Amino acid sequence: MKTADRMQGVHRSYIREILKVTARPEIISFAGGLPHPDSFPAQQVAEAAACVFAEEGASALQYSTTEGYEPLRAWIAQRYERQGLTVDPDDILITTGSQQALDMAGRALLNRGEPMVIERPGYLGAIQCFSMYGVEFKTVDLLPTGVDVDQLDRVLAETGARCFYAVPSFQNPSGISYDEPTRRAVAEVLGRRNCLLIEDNPYGELRFMGEDVLPVRCFMQSPSILLGSFSKMVAPGMRLGWIYAPDGLMDSLVRAKQACDLHTSTLTQRILYRYLRDNDVDSHISSIRERYKLHRDLMVAAIAEHFPAEVTTTDPEGGMFLWCSLPEFVSAEAVFQEAIRNEVAFVPGKPFYVDGTDNTFRLNFSNASPDRIEEGIARLGRCLHDCLASSKGRG
């Protein structure tokens, strides 16, 4: 049966397909963007669920408002106040994960054939999502300090794009975080060019090195959308995220969500709120940061020991990923096939680009145990040495 035309340009998630391959226990996987399961507060969430049923009973299982559970929206708004943002709970829309937040933004804002600016490399989930709406992607390169602001200004001037999607904190896939001067400059350019910022911030709470930097939204004089998620600070299986948007956009976002699923799970929202209310969330997040810094440092040290000198990497100060660049004559896809034969996996960089670039790859350091990080990077290092030698021989 013929499907809708909009599906022709939308591909399966490359990472989800890789995860099928890496499900075998003998494979050491750095592929998925997975938090470490030992960081999930399973017991505390179970206690929260018991309290919800004991105190609220069947009402916790009823339909609810599209915007989301008001106490949970108020908790998010109060947390934003720490960052200098004055947020009304009515400016928050609870979504089924931040991936749905991307979809809601796409439904409400994007038109087929219009230009949309994204980072290069860009988040695969956003590329997949926004492709559904037929946009014409325009890319702007990432530098060690964040997006190339001069290039962003030039692309906006040339295309008249109305939206710029970015992950300024510990970007997926690169691990790069915009410094404050870059954030201020981006805000100025977007305001001057009348371009809406869609700022995705799922990793902002996961800084374990350097100084905290405010969201770009804090420097914006023009409207912007800020996305958040509980997947990295609590647990991804709860599938809870949110959109913070100004009044002028919220009505369209709510209507888009009503057309999609009416509202996010009432029960899950109530359980999460009870967990957040009754536990020291900051202490929990601090423990996640400590774990991820240990894993990051182990991976960086192992890379220095085992990778060829021709392979360069980013130096993340938080988040869950680092990014590796190969010489231009080496295919990351070819390295991946060799790595799988040696029972280690990563994500080749090609699906993070809209132009087919094939000499980069992403490593996740949050999910694997310390001993598997060291062994997996050693295996991958041997694969890289072999592939570089083979490519040079063919050259």
Q: What structural domains does the chain harbor? A: 5-40+282-394 (3.90.1150.10), 42-278 (3.40.640.10)
CA 297 – CA 316 distance, rounded (Å): 10
| Sequential pLDDT tens for the chain (395 residues) | 666 666 666 666 666 666 676 678 899 999 988 999 999 999 999 999 999 999 999 999 999 999 999 999 999 999 999 888 999 999 999 999 999 999 999 999 999 999 999 999 999 999 999 999 999 999 999 999 999 999 999 999 999 999 999 999 999 999 999 999 999 999 999 999 999 999 999 999 999 999 999 999 999 988 899 999 999 999 999 999 999 998 789 999 999 999 999 999 999 999 999 999 999 999 999 999 999 999 999 999 999 999 999 999 999 999 999 999 999 999 999 999 999 999 999 999 999 999 989 999 999 999 999 999 999 999 999 999 999 988 776 65
Of the candidates 13, 15, 21, the one whose C-alpha atom is nearest the C-alpha of residue 343 is 21
Kindly state the tokens that stand for 309.
């000198």
The distance of Cα 146 from the centroid of its chain, to the nearest Å, equals 15
* Per-residue tokens: 180: 């404050």
In 3D space, the residue among 299, 293, 229 whose CA is nearest the CA of residue 264 turns out to be: 229
Phi, psi of 140 (to 5 degrees): -130, 130
- Burial group, residue 357, by CB count within 10 angstroms (0-12, 13-18, 19+): middle
Identify the CA nearest to 99 among candidates 33, 40, 152.
33
Counting Cα atoms < 13 Å in the Cβ hemisphere of 246 gives: 10
Q: In angstroms, rounded to a whole number, what is the distance separating the alpha carbons of residues 325 and 176? A: 14
Residues in the chain: 395
For 66, other C-beta atoms within 10 Å of its C-beta total: 18
pLDDT tens-digit map of 118-159? 999 999 999 999 999 999 999 999 999 999 999 999 999 999
CA distances (Å), 116 to each of 6, 184, 293, in order? 17, 21, 34
Tell me what pLDDT residue 304 has.
98
The distance of Cα 301 from the centroid of its chain, to the nearest Å, equals 25
Beta strand 163-166 pairing with 241-244 = unpaired
For residue 123, count CB atoms less than 10 angstroms from its CB and return exposed for 0-12, middle for 13-18, buried for 19 or more.
buried
Q: What is the pLDDT of residue 195?
A: 97
Distance CA(337)–CA(50), nearest Å, equals 47
Model-level pTM?
A: 0.94
